[in-house]
Structure formats: C-alpha cells, structure tokens
A = this chain, B = another copy of it.
Amino acid sequence: MFILITNDDGIHAPGLTALFHELKQRGEVAVVAPESEQSAVGHAISLSHPLRVKEVDLKGGGRGWAVNGTPADCVKIGVAEILPRLPDLVISGINLGPNVGINVLYSGTVSAATEAAILGVKAAAVSLHTYQDADFLEAARVFAGLLPRLQQWPGWGNGICLNVNLPAVPGDKIRGVRVVRQEICPLVERFERRVDPRAQIYYWLAGINDHRPQEFDTDYGSLQAGYITITPIHHDLTHYPSLRALKGLIEI
C-alpha cells in the first residue's frame, strides 16, 4: 500500500508527524505538505504564483516534500510531479481541531481529501477534537486501527472521500464509531474590531466554533457525544431536490 500524507497545519506539524510514523508501519508512505500553516484556505489552489517544492527532514526521521502552496496544491503536484506512481490512499491530517459542520467548507484538511477523490484516489481527512494538549500519537493509533475496516468499503474512492473526526480521549474511552451526515447550521461568528498603533481600524474573525448542543445524527453532534465520526463527502454541490422545481419555473 502506497500512502500519501498531507495536511493544512504544515509539514512540521505534530499531527502529521504522528500519522507518518504510525502509517509507515503499514505501508510505503510519502509526505507532500504545505511548508507553512494553511488553515481555513478551503479548496484554494495557486494560479497566480508558481509552486516550489523542497525536500525536507521530517521530525523523528524520514523525508518529505514541502510545497509553498495549499493542501489541494500539494495533492495535485504530489500526484502529477513528485510521486513515482499514483498513491493507493491519501490521508490528510491529523488536524489540530475538528472539521465538522460548516467548517468542512473552510477546511484545507478536508479539501486535500476532496482533491484526491477528484483524482480518483481513496482519501480521508482526519481531525482531532481539541485545540490544546493534543495526543496525536494516540489519535494516529486510533485512526490506523480503523483503517482496515474503512478499506473494506467498496464505495470508497469513486469520487467520495471520508471526513473522519476523532474525540480527544484515549482509545478505550471512545464511545464508538458513527457514520453521520455533515451538520449545516450557520456558525456563531463575530468580528473583533481593533485599532492599530497608527489609529487604523482592523478586524479579527473570532468565535467561529460554536458550542451549542448539536443533533446527534450529525458529525458535530456525535463528536460532541464522544464518538468517532465518519462522513462520506463528495464534490458535486448540485442541490438535486431543487433541480426539477427550478426547471419548471425557468426553462420556458
């Protein structure tokens, strides 16, 4: 099994390092990841500046390729230019912080997996539900333990990737695994208005993580309840139920 690992926290992020050392016990692993943090870049790709690729040492041993681009760029250039052959699997993560609900749209981690699915490769985005004291070694073990079961699913790879979120607790404290839909409620957001030393106003987007209780049958709700969540996602944004109604009204 030939696995490509990428992420959006950057090639030296501990979540990627842990995943690399765990997965290399199970196959051949290549790392192509952003040279710097690329959180919330969504499905951005680089058109107006060129990409550069640099071979670097990974923490704890091994080599990887650092790219001055986005996670989606890394998957594209990894497959097209860097890797000797198409990977069997692309894993993006492990992200510091969950990628559930509306955040899935903004997530560079998830977009790397979507990009791989577009290219016809099985892919998963893996995120950990904490922003501090993350135990990525444990998270990597938990995900690797889940992987053989995921690989039994024949639907994986046909343009569909998996968005996996892990509770930040030891494996034996996890309540189970749930396959759930993406939660779609708007985030509770606000902008912090500040004044810089030159008396100019600027704004920080703040509070994008909402802590309301969520419906259990969603990624957000089940993750909050202590479960691993898996959401099959795809890149066809068409809202099919609206097609017919709108056709009747518009196509005259």
Residues of chain A at the chain B interface (Cβ within 8 Å)? 37, 39-48, 50-53, 72-73, 76-77, 80-81, 102, 104-106, 111, 114, 118-120, 149-150, 152-153, 155, 159-160, 163, 176-182, 184, 186, 189-191, 193-194, 200-205, 208, 230-240, 242-243, 245-247, 249-252
Question: From DSSP, what is the main secondary structure of chain A's interface residues?
Answer: mixed
Q: How far does the alpha carbon of A180 sit from the alpha carbon of B237 in the complex, in Å? A: 12
Are the C-beta atoms of A45 and B106 separated by less than 8 Å? yes
Instruction: Report the nearest B residue to A230, measured CB to CB.
Output: B250
Are the C-beta atoms of B181 and A45 separated by less than 8 Å? no
Are the C-beta atoms of B191 and A235 separated by less than 8 Å? no
Are the C-beta atoms of A246 and B230 separated by less than 8 Å? yes
8 Å CB contact of A44 from B41, B50, B235: B41
Given contacts A41-B44, A42-B41, A251-B178, contact A52 B203 (CB under 8 A): yes
Q: List 9 A-B contacts (CB under 8 A).
A: A40-B47, A42-B44, A44-B44, A51-B202, A73-B205, A77-B205, A81-B193, A232-B243, A235-B237
Are the C-beta atoms of B51 and A40 separated by less than 8 Å? no
Are the C-beta atoms of B191 and A246 separated by less than 8 Å? no
8 Å CB contact of A80 from B50, B149, B191: B191
Going nearest first, the 6 A-B pairs with the smallest beta carbon separation are A42-B43, A232-B242, A42-B42, A233-B237, A50-B202, A234-B239
Are the C-beta atoms of A47 and B39 separated by less than 8 Å? yes
Are the C-beta atoms of A181 and B43 separated by less than 8 Å? no
**Nearest CB of B to A159, in Å:** 7
**Nearest CB of B to A198, in Å:** 11
Are the C-beta atoms of B249 and A190 separated by less than 8 Å? no
Are the C-beta atoms of A205 and B51 separated by less than 8 Å? yes
8 Å CB contact of A245 from B72, B155, B191: B155
Are the C-beta atoms of B149 and A250 separated by less than 8 Å? yes
